[in-house]
Amino acid sequence: MSELRKILLPLNGTPNGEAALATALILARRFGAHLAALHVRSDSREVAPLAGEGLSGAMVEEMMTAADREQARRSLAVREVFDRLVGAAGLEVRGGPPDPDPRTHDLAGPTASFRSITGREHELVAYAARLSDLTVVPHADSGEEVSSSEALHAVLFDSGRPVVIAPKLSPQQVGRRLCIAWNGTGESASAVLSILPWAKQAEAVQVLHSEDYQRRGPDAAALLDYLALHGVRATLQSFRAIDKEVGAGLLAACTKFGADMVSMGAYSHSRLRQLILGGVTRHVLENAQLTVLMAR
Tens-digit pLDDT profile for residues 71-90: 778 889 999 999 999 999 99
Question: Does residue 247 register a pLDDT over 50?
Answer: yes
For 26-143, list the strands marked E by DSSP.
34-41, 92-93, 111-118, 134-137
Lowest mean pLDDT among 47-56, 253-262, 263-272: 47-56
Full-model pTM: 0.88
More confident residue, 26 or 95: 26
Tens-place pLDDT, residues 20-48: 999 999 999 999 999 999 999 887 666 55
* Sheet with 134-137, side-by-side order of all strands: 92-93, 111-118, 34-41, 6-10, 134-137, 163-165, 291-295, 261-265, 177-181, 204-209, 235-238
